[in-house]
Amino acid sequence: MLVLDIGGTKVAAARWVGGRLQDRRQWPMPPTPEAWRQTLALMAGAYPGMSRLAAAVTGLTDGRVWTAVNPQLVSFWDGYALADALTQAWQCPAVLLNDAQAAAWGEFVSCDRQPGNLLFMTLSTGVGGGLVLGGQLRSGLRGLAGHIGHVGSGLAPLDGNTRCGCGRLNCLETIASGTALARQASHLLGKPLDAASVFAGWHAGDPVCGRLLERATQALSQALADAHALLDLDEVRLGGSVGLAPGMVEAIRQAQQALPARFRVAVAPARLGADAGLIGIGHWASDRLNAP
Ligand SMILES: [Zn+2]
């Protein structure tokens, strides 16, 4: 089986053999439909002769079609028949699952002692999430379950950009995603900056970067407390390039200290690291394939 992880900025692929990734490769996420078709052809050439394909993808999916929650992330896809496009490229069956939901399943099955209720949260180009409740992956009929990036943060972004790409106001994604950190810092400091620069500035003691990270971690700790109050979580696993950036987990734990103790849920870095989505979709699709 071939597994894919299609995100806002990159496409990762690997063979899934005996419960492990093999021959992992990565491409930048193309910015146009034409470039996407070329990348698809390149990938199909790099992995010939596959008999089955499973893709973890950012956004909403019913297993066949991809729909945007935040259309600004992958602007040329909305209601896109992604599974059919993959089937056509490889001439084999293809299934889709949201990337954070896939990662949640990957984190769950790789736990030594599997928690009943686990939330995986990815902080990356956007903010995503996936829920395993009572030992079952919950994606919901519409695929929306776990989309914690689009809950209200209670804070307005400091660049005045309060309207999230999803249409709601002051979503967690507008405060705590890599895109949000970069956007606010660029506005406040008057020069183009990326999320990595915001982290570098924070670690170097820059007060603006420090304030942005403080607000982001405050919003994250509140969103996790809300999720914990609703679902009684046993554990949160944090992934994505921003979630796994040095100091991020510790900063969220620090922000949680302002909460009453019963609303502080345990937060840990994703055990599967940056490949949680690929490994998760591999396990999920294999489990479905082998199910009676
Ligand atoms: Zn939103």
Q: In this prediction, what percent of the chain has a pLDDT beyond 90?
A: 80
Cα(122) to centroid of ligand 1, in Å?
14
What CA–CA distances, in Å, run from 216 to 4, 11, 38, 236? 30, 26, 37, 17
Based on the domain organization, do 229 and 154 belong to the same domain? yes
Based on the domain organization, do 222 and 155 belong to the same domain? yes
Residue 105 lies in a domain: no
Based on the domain organization, do 254 and 169 belong to the same domain? yes
Residue 285's domain comprises 2-98+274-290
For 193-246, how does the pLDDT look when each residue is reduced to its tens digit (9 = 90+)?
A: 999 999 999 999 999 999 999 999 999 999 999 999 999 999 999 999 999 999
Cα(18) to centroid of ligand 1, in Å?
38
Based on the domain organization, do 213 and 115 belong to the same domain? yes
For 63-75, how does the pLDDT look when each residue is reduced to its tens digit (9 = 90+)?
A: 888 888 877 766 6
Residue 103 lies in a domain: no
Based on the domain organization, do 221 and 140 belong to the same domain? yes
Cα(77) to centroid of ligand 1, in Å?
17
- Average of per-residue pLDDT values in the chain: 93
The H-or-E segment that residue 130 falls in is strand 127-133
Q: What CATH number is associated with residue 252?
A: 3.30.420.40
Say what the pTM is: 0.92
Residue 50 lies in a domain: yes
Q: How far apart are CA 120 and CA 236, in angstroms?
A: 6
Top mean pLDDT of 34-38, 63-67, 153-157 is at: 153-157
Based on the domain organization, do 210 and 140 belong to the same domain? yes
Total count of domains within the chain? 2
Residue 106 lies in a domain: no
Cα(148) to centroid of ligand 1, in Å?
9
| Whether 114 contacts 108, CB under 8 Å | yes
Could you count the other beta carbons within 10 Å of the beta carbon of residue 88? 12
Q: Look at residue 115 and tell me whether its pLDDT is greater than 90.
A: no
Based on the domain organization, do 196 and 250 belong to the same domain? yes
| Whether 219 contacts 154, CB under 8 Å | yes
Cα(110) to centroid of ligand 1, in Å?
30
Based on the domain organization, do 115 and 148 belong to the same domain? yes
Based on the domain organization, do 68 and 147 belong to the same domain? no
Cα(167) to centroid of ligand 1, in Å?
6
Q: How far apart are CA 288 and CA 142, in angstroms?
A: 19
Q: What is the CA radius of gyration of the chain?
A: 19
Cα(59) to centroid of ligand 1, in Å?
11
Residue 180 lies in a domain: yes
